[in-house]
Amino acid sequence: MVCASQYYDRTLGWSGRREPVAIRVLPPVETAGLTVADIPQLMAQCRQQMEAAIADLEPTA
């Protein structure tokens, strides 16, 4: 799951201001058959997917 990076100023905790925050749940990451040697590539793949999703959630200026 990722959320828009600019959500902090929109929410001030349980007792403060509350506004909707955009989130996206990404598809599951298949790890069957992977080994410790696959971790760097898996991390890079996950990061790339997260960055793309966050960019889609960001408001356009």
Please give the pLDDT value at position 13: 66
Range(s) of the domain holding residue 37? 2-57
Please give the pLDDT value at position 10: 64
Global confidence as pTM:
0.70
**How does pLDDT run across 39-49, given as a tens digit for each residue?**
999 999 999 99
Alpha helices in the chain (DSSP H): 39-57
Averaged pLDDT, groups of 10, the chain, 61 residues long = 67 69 89 97 95 83 48
Please give the pLDDT value at position 25: 93
* Chain centroid offset of residue 48 CA: 10
Residue 42: CB partners within 8 Å, gap ≥ 6? 29, 31, 34
Please give the pLDDT value at position 1: 76
Q: How many domains does the chain have?
A: 1
Cα–Cα distances in angstroms (integers) from residue 10 to residues 25, 29, 37, 44, 60, in the given order: 20, 30, 40, 30, 17
